[in-house]
Chains A and B, each alone.
Chain A
Amino acid sequence: MALVAPFADIESSIATDTMAMLANVVVTKASGAQFLAEFDAIDRDVFDGIAQVGDYTLRYLLTDATLAVGDVVTINGQAYRVPADPDRVGHEAVARLVEHA
């Protein structure tokens, strides 16, 4: 008899429903494909206050998108680049973004 992981479907459903409820941006990839995500932007002082930089993170479902280093996405008209591998967190990924000129 094949084993069934009973919580897998529930977990996936919770992740999908949560993203559907909490997404605050539509992300457009360079290819034109779009997906929903949670976007967070906070300005931070770095280098002992010598510079200020936007700290941008994007949380999205792994089933909705795949982002890799160097990818450029557009959010609210601003282009951002993915400077490092996104971190997987369960059914989601968290990508740091930097502003792309």
Chain B
Amino acid sequence: MFALESPIIARLAALPALAGWQVRSSAAETSRKTVPAVEVRCEGAGASDKGMAALIDVKWGVHLIAARGDGAMAALDVAFAAVVGSLHNWKPGTEGDHPWLPLKLRDVEPVEIAEQGLVAYSLIFQTSAPYYGQQ
């Protein structure tokens, strides 16, 4: 279920628009004081019964974090467009032995502001793949 994290991070890290951004996994042992940053995090999954298979719907959060300031929203806007352009309808193929459907952007969460000087924006993508159980 978590197999897509590495390819998602690799795609985002390769984007010219995100040059200078720290692109990281939610599980990474790294400083989280660095900004601007993109953190990729599995936001959970749903499951539906498809006979021998369970269809797992996984949500991936792409969290954009920048320092507050006059240029913050413009920088986030550029990053937002780049992330959507890279991930929406991206076909990851088979990862972790499971064939994943194309990612779809499902939600954009309201901007969050930390009074300590940060602003964050979150994009939620969704994809699904069958996981087979007993025949």
Contact = CB atoms under 8 A, between A and B. Distances in A.
A58 to B, nearest CB: 13
Interface in B16-51: 26, 31-33, 35, 37, 39, 41
A68 interface: no
Main secondary structure of the interface of A (DSSP, over half): strand
Interface stretch (A4-12, A15-23, A46-54, A87-95): A46-54
B124 interface: no
Contacts of B35: 51
Contact of B118 (A43, A47, A49, A96): A47
- Say which size band chain B's interface belongs to: 10 to 19
Nearest to A44: B116
A73 B37 CA distance: 26
Contacts of A43: 33
Interface of B: 26, 31-33, 35, 37, 39, 41, 63, 65, 67-68, 112, 114-118, 120
A-B pairs, 10 with minimum CB distance: A98-B117, A46-B114, A52-B32, A53-B116, A47-B120, A51-B65, A55-B116, A50-B39, A52-B33, A50-B63
Interface of A: 43-47, 49-56, 83-84, 96, 98-99
